[in-house]
Structure 1
Amino acid sequence: MTPARLLRDVLRRHPRRLAEIAGWSVLETAPAFLVGFAVARAIDDGFAAGRPATGLAWLALLGVAWAAAAVGARQVVLAVAGIAEPLRDELLAHVVTGALRRASGAFQAPTEAGSAAVARANLQVELARDAFAAVVTIVRGFAFTLLSVTLGMLTLLPQVALLVLPPFVAGLTLFLISLPALARRQRAFLLADERTAEELAGLAGGLRDIAAGGAQDLVAARAEGRVEEQSAAARALARVTSARTAALAVGGWLPVVLVLAGTPWLLANGAAAGVIVGALAYVTQSLAPALNGLVEGVAVSGVRLAVSLDRILRSAPPAVPVAADEPDGHAVELRAATFAYGPHAEPVVDRLDLLIPEGDHLAVVGPSGAGKSTLTALIAGMLRPDAGAVLVGGVRAHLAARPARVLIPQEAYVFRGPLLENLTYLADADRAQVERAVAELGAEALVTRVGGYDAEVDPGALPAGQRQLIALVRAYLSPARLVILDEATCHLDPAAEERAELAFAARGGTLVVVAHRLSSALRARRVLLMDGGRTWLGTHAELVRAAPPYADLVGHWEPEYA
């Protein structure tokens, strides 16, 4: 799907919102229609005629129009948001789809889907949403302002329109002709700016390694190249921006010159002094600002929108399947698995050997930064080991068919839509199965609070604990026989956490839990302690006796073990 088609489809799906925008825009641009006429009448029929009360009445009417326009502007913003937010949700669906496909070995050319890449994609979604709202607001405002001013000038004196509209249309045409080149230059500058920022951010994060490796000159030369690239893009943009300046001069200020130069002709055609001032008010207070807003907004927000949409739509690779391997069971085995975040970084998981047999219930504990979440990502196939192997059912984790396992992270994903669709996202379950799963996990109160299974879920309105409950029910209903909970119950109270873990343990299959509380380790059959590159594996009682770091960790949880 192209960006243009996506935007067209989004607008077509919201005819009521578009009607609201049009209706409130009439109110918002009422001053654009009234400003010149009211000023002319206030001068000619009021102050110049010796009737100051009449002049003040016309100006008061203009003030009322401005007050009403403020109300209209607020409603326009709300109506535009009613279109922009669904666009944001649709784009997020593309981002999530792309992240899942890149993380899955079930699609061609898999790539790493790290949190940084997902964060950048989410940023692109926010930029696209904001740019879309800005473009809709600007183009709408320009169109209604032009219509209002045209009607106002024809009402004031038709000859005024003959002096104002031709140069205005010429300036607008000049801008539209230069827009493709301007868009290309603006896009090139934005991309060069982002590449420079990425280069400098990476440089700042690796200063220690750069100094240790003596690569200062090489890195400096590469950064200098990025800066020069951005500088060249800025110069090219500045050159083509002259066309934008010319468009503003022709469309925004040439009409002022023509009105002033054509004053004798206007006076000869029945215009009074107030009409001349009113005509200038139309140009300087409405037309010129509208053209300037269009030029600036489309040149910046329009290009940002096009760039962001292009990146987002390209982020979801085509679903062309390759031969995904079906695991033989759901046992997990790590053979000297090693992983580090970067070629020069210390390994987070270092030559780890681990066997998690089918049906096991393993709790993973350790201090923050010990590699617990990295381990779960390796088992889930979201990360690939730098050395060694991670197998699920005898198949490399990143190549294993996805229905074999499910990972619920600390920040659970919930999408905008019916609650039932959120719960059955990973399974083809009927209502009775869903209700049983909800009861097992103690999520009945959540269903009631949301408003039932058919109620629309607003992720932003749900507390983190309730989002986790939705994700837990979703995982419980899935066909996966390997369930990985990476602090997926940390926002629940201890009783709710216990109920969830016991439900998954009774469900069958293999359960791996990154423990948030000591109680999770006590409920598990075995415990894996990760601490500073070392690991210990055993039951809770065995580790208390044999692993001093575990006894110390338990002592922080329960003073009687200190």
Structure 2
Amino acid sequence: MTRPREVLWAALRRRPAVLAKIAAWSVLEVTPAFLIGHAVARAIEDGFAAGRLLTGLAWLALLGGAWLVAAVAARQVILGVAALAEPFRDDLLHHVVRGLLHEATASFRAPPPGGAALTRATLQVELARDAFAALVTVLRGFVFTLVSAALGLLTLVPALALPVLVPFALGTALFLASLPALIRAQRAHLEADEATGAELTTVAGALRDLTACGAEQSAGDRLGALVEAQAATAARLARLTALRTTALTVGGWLPVLLVLAWTPALLAQGVAIATVVGALAYVTQSLAPALGGLVEGVGVSGVRLLAALGRILAGTPAAIPPPPAARPADVTLTLRQVTFAYGPQAEPVLDRLDLEVPDGEHLAITGPSGAGKSTLAALLAGALRPDAGQVLIGGLPADRVDPAARLLIPQEAYVFRGTVLENLAYPGEASEHEAEAAVAELGLAELVARCGGYQGLLDPAALSAGERQLLALARALLSPARLIVLDEATCHLDPVAEARAEEALARRPGTLVVIAHRAASARRARRVLTLGDGAPRDRRFAREELIP
């Protein structure tokens, strides 16, 4: 599993120029943190206390100018942080999708809609993005403010560095020591929230069935228990959060008491009272707010970020293993006692099906709607794994055969925004000369010309369903795959275009399997497999017919 620390460091290291820009603007943003003590001390001592009003106002005006510069710098810092946070959000979505795909391919079942997966992909990604931006802003502000205020204090009155910076460091250390417990509590709260959201989604989608079965009470009790568990985690999180007040008191307000306690000794050493006031300004206006921001930002945003990342990355493998690259000598299809059902309690769509399709065969699969034609097509192409039995391509399990050797074209053809040639050659490579032959065979020349030639940009939304299917069929014609399965991939074409496409694909070397939605498709095939209705009393789900 990918660790949160790796994701965070990767997000920061990827854009060093943005980090440099943030650091440069941060120096200007914390200028008031350095000037405030000096400006207040000089305004009092050299200005107002000495009867020089304009001098006092000038020092305050200098401080006000620094605040204006800081406001401009703060805007640039926010833009810089946004430039880090948005790619970070994209990274998290990538991890979520990769994790869900890994789960789906591992089990050969699509994840259920909604529920925990949807929560992780939406709410927690947005939560992590916002928390990341807040954390970067807070940590940056804390570090730069601490350095600026410490330098200002050391240059104004070095004797107060010890009573100010030591308790400040102690309060910071106390807060950091409490973070592990806060992270665990926050993670438990997020897990409870995810569980509640998943159960609520399930219950909301099954209200009619629950009512019909009289299960409203049990469903309500189960949901109520999850809500109570979530409330308990929230209460524990609130108790731990209250401990942050101790750290803030030690680091932010104990220095004020120590400065006041040190004042008589400082005055006896000749330190002006205005200088003491300036030192208090550093504590109350720079250091205490910086620690408060750290406690609030890291204690809330940081904890939320780490907890959310833990949940987001929980289903993400460290790396998705590449698909096997086994290439069989031929593409003979062999099905042995194949059974498949969509769920452990569902009736099998296919039950103990045996089938042998020699290499180079042209097979049509027919049958009523719901008989399992698309399921069989996916099994033949290795996109689904059977619950029992074997599906072999050239003697190898279908799902372990190199994807370049097998191709499944579904009813809804995949066309992406790119050039015409990129769409035709995907996922391999093909020259314009090779593409021209396929385009000519399928009658796509007019569409290619309309799009501006092979280098013209293709807009999927501007194409009809039939045009998208023709592009996908031309892609199949150009592919190196020796097994092509068409799952009603010509249903939007007229009979003439359908016949031309199927005949062109049948002339290719290899095996062609067509889910036939028209009788003409079955008549063009050399062999037909008709799937029955799957009545429980009849365990033979299929019969073969040879067409003369």
TM-score range, shorter chain: 0.5 to 0.7
Offset at residue 85 of structure 1 (A): 4.5
**Structure 2-normalised TM-score?**
0.68
In the alignment, the residues of structure 1 paired with residue 378 and residue 349 of structure 2 have an alpha-carbon distance, to the nearest angstrom, of: 15
Aligned to 1:136: 136
Q: Which amino acid aligns with 1:112?
A: A
Q: Which amino acid aligns with 1:189?
A: H
Aligned to 2:510: none
In the alignment, the residues of structure 2 paired with residue 41 and residue 6 of structure 1 have an alpha-carbon distance, to the nearest angstrom, of: 47
Aligned to 1:538: 518
Greater displacement, 143-152 / 286-295: 286-295
Give 3-state SS (helix, strand or coil) of 2:286's partner: helix
In the alignment, the residues of structure 2 paired with residue 54 and residue 383 of structure 1 have an alpha-carbon distance, to the nearest angstrom, of: 82
In the alignment, the residues of structure 1 paired with residue 492 and residue 199 of structure 2 have an alpha-carbon distance, to the nearest angstrom, of: 43
Alpha carbons 1:145, 1:286 under 8 Å: kept: yes
- In the TM superposition, what whole-angstrom CA distance separates every residue of 1:186-236 from its partner, at most 9, and x where no partner exists? 221221222122222222222211111122222222222212222222232
Aligned to 2:225: 225
In the alignment, the residues of structure 1 paired with residue 255 and residue 191 of structure 2 have an alpha-carbon distance, to the nearest angstrom, of: 37
Aligned to 1:549: none
Offset at residue 140 of structure 1 (A): 1.5
Percent sequence identity is 48
Alpha carbons 2:108, 2:384 under 8 Å: kept: no
Offset at residue 22 of structure 1 (A): 1.9
Give 3-state SS (helix, strand or coil) of 2:132's partner: helix
In the alignment, the residues of structure 1 paired with residue 518 and residue 268 of structure 2 have an alpha-carbon distance, to the nearest angstrom, of: 102
Offset at residue 238 of structure 1 (A): 2.6
In the alignment, the residues of structure 1 paired with residue 387 and residue 265 of structure 2 have an alpha-carbon distance, to the nearest angstrom, of: 82
Change (3 A) 1:244 1:197: same
Unaligned stretches of 5+ residues in structure 1? 450-464, 467-488, 528-534, 543-562
Q: 2:463 aligns with which of 485, 488, 492?
A: 492
In the alignment, the residues of structure 1 paired with residue 202 and residue 230 of structure 2 have an alpha-carbon distance, to the nearest angstrom, of: 17
- In the TM superposition, what whole-angstrom CA distance separates every residue of 1:310-367 from its partner, at most 9, and x where no partner exists? 332642376568999989759999x998759x979xx9x98999x99977999xxx9x
Alpha carbons 2:135, 2:301 under 8 Å: kept: yes
In the alignment, the residues of structure 2 paired with residue 75 and residue 421 of structure 1 have an alpha-carbon distance, to the nearest angstrom, of: 40
Aligned to 1:239: 239
Change (3 A) 1:155 1:373: farther
Give 3-state SS (helix, strand or coil) of 2:50's partner: coil
Offset at residue 41 of structure 1 (A): 2.5
Aligned to 2:530: none
Give 3-state SS (helix, strand or coil) of 2:226's partner: helix
Q: 1:524 aligns with which of 498, 516, 522?
A: 498
Give 3-state SS (helix, strand or coil) of 2:517's partner: strand
In the alignment, the residues of structure 1 paired with residue 180 and residue 396 of structure 2 have an alpha-carbon distance, to the nearest angstrom, of: 51
In the alignment, the residues of structure 1 paired with residue 7 and residue 403 of structure 2 have an alpha-carbon distance, to the nearest angstrom, of: 29
In the alignment, the residues of structure 2 paired with residue 521 and residue 281 of structure 1 have an alpha-carbon distance, to the nearest angstrom, of: 85
Aligned to 1:68: 69
Q: Which amino acid aligns with 2:79?
A: L
In the alignment, the residues of structure 2 paired with residue 423 and residue 94 of structure 1 have an alpha-carbon distance, to the nearest angstrom, of: 29
Q: 2:110 aligns with which of 96, 112, 118?
A: 112
- In the TM superposition, what whole-angstrom CA distance separates every residue of 1:517-546 from its partner, at most 9, and x where no partner exists? 96678743599xxxxxxx99326999xxxx
Give 3-state SS (helix, strand or coil) of 1:524's partner: helix
Offset at residue 89 of structure 1 (A): 4.7
Q: Which amino acid aligns with 1:286?
A: S
- In the TM superposition, what whole-angstrom CA distance separates every residue of 1:482-515 from its partner, at most 9, and x where no partner exists? xxxxxxx445368964863563475477475889
Change (3 A) 1:252 1:101: same
Change (3 A) 1:256 1:221: same
Change (3 A) 1:414 1:103: farther
Alpha carbons 2:469, 2:489 under 8 Å: kept: no
Offset at residue 143 of structure 1 (A): 0.7
Alpha carbons 1:410, 1:490 under 8 Å: kept: no
Alpha carbons 2:424, 2:475 under 8 Å: kept: no
Give the alignment's Cα RMSD to 1 decimal: 5.1
In the alignment, the residues of structure 2 paired with residue 447 and residue 292 of structure 1 have an alpha-carbon distance, to the nearest angstrom, of: 58
In the alignment, structure 1 residue 284 sits paired with structure 2 residue 284: yes
Structure ID, larger Rg: 2
Offset at residue 144 of structure 1 (A): 0.7
In the alignment, structure 1 residue 503 sits paired with structure 2 residue 505: no
In the alignment, the residues of structure 2 paired with residue 199 and residue 221 of structure 1 have an alpha-carbon distance, to the nearest angstrom, of: 11
Give 3-state SS (helix, strand or coil) of 1:405's partner: strand
In the alignment, structure 1 residue 212 sits paired with structure 2 residue 186: no
Aligned to 1:59: 60
- In the TM superposition, what whole-angstrom CA distance separates every residue of 1:153-183 from its partner, at most 9, and x where no partner exists? 1233223433322221111111111111221
Change (3 A) 1:230 1:51: same
- In the TM superposition, what whole-angstrom CA distance separates every residue of 1:59-101 from its partner, at most 9, and x where no partner exists? 2222222222233223333333444445445444444443443
In the alignment, the residues of structure 1 paired with residue 249 and residue 258 of structure 2 have an alpha-carbon distance, to the nearest angstrom, of: 13
In the alignment, the residues of structure 1 paired with residue 211 and residue 252 of structure 2 have an alpha-carbon distance, to the nearest angstrom, of: 55
Change (3 A) 1:243 1:215: same
Aligned to 1:257: 257
Alpha carbons 2:21, 2:80 under 8 Å: kept: yes
- In the TM superposition, what whole-angstrom CA distance separates every residue of 1:132-151 from its partner, at most 9, and x where no partner exists? 33322221211111101111
Unaligned stretches of 5+ residues in structure 2? 440-447, 502-514, 523-548
Equivalent runs, 1:36-435 vs 2, <5 Å: 36-104=37-105, 112-114=110-112, 116=114, 119-123=118-122, 124-310=124-310, 311-312=312-313, 314-316=315-317, 319=320, 329=331, 402-403=403-404, 404-405=406-407, 426-427=427-428, 429=429, 433=430
In the alignment, the residues of structure 2 paired with residue 233 and residue 307 of structure 1 have an alpha-carbon distance, to the nearest angstrom, of: 13
Q: Which amino acid aligns with 1:205?
A: G
Give 3-state SS (helix, strand or coil) of 2:257's partner: helix
Q: Which amino acid aligns with 1:500?
A: L
Aligned to 1:35: 36
Change (3 A) 1:170 1:523: same
Offset at residue 246 of structure 1 (A): 0.6
Alpha carbons 1:490, 1:516 under 8 Å: kept: no
- In the TM superposition, what whole-angstrom CA distance separates every residue of 1:269-289 from its partner, at most 9, and x where no partner exists? 444454344333322332222
Alpha carbons 2:146, 2:287 under 8 Å: kept: yes
Q: Which amino acid aligns with 2:176?
A: L
Alpha carbons 1:339, 1:386 under 8 Å: kept: no
Q: Which amino acid aligns with 1:142?
A: F
Change (3 A) 1:512 1:300: farther
In the alignment, the residues of structure 1 paired with residue 153 and residue 374 of structure 2 have an alpha-carbon distance, to the nearest angstrom, of: 67
In the alignment, the residues of structure 1 paired with residue 473 and residue 341 of structure 2 have an alpha-carbon distance, to the nearest angstrom, of: 31
**Structure 1-normalised TM-score?**
0.66
Change (3 A) 1:285 1:511: farther
- In the TM superposition, what whole-angstrom CA distance separates every residue of 1:44-66 from its partner, at most 9, and x where no partner exists? 33333333332332222222222
Q: Which amino acid aligns with 2:474?
A: A
In the alignment, the residues of structure 2 paired with residue 399 and residue 272 of structure 1 have an alpha-carbon distance, to the nearest angstrom, of: 82
May I ask how many residue pairs the two structures share in their alignment? Answer: 477
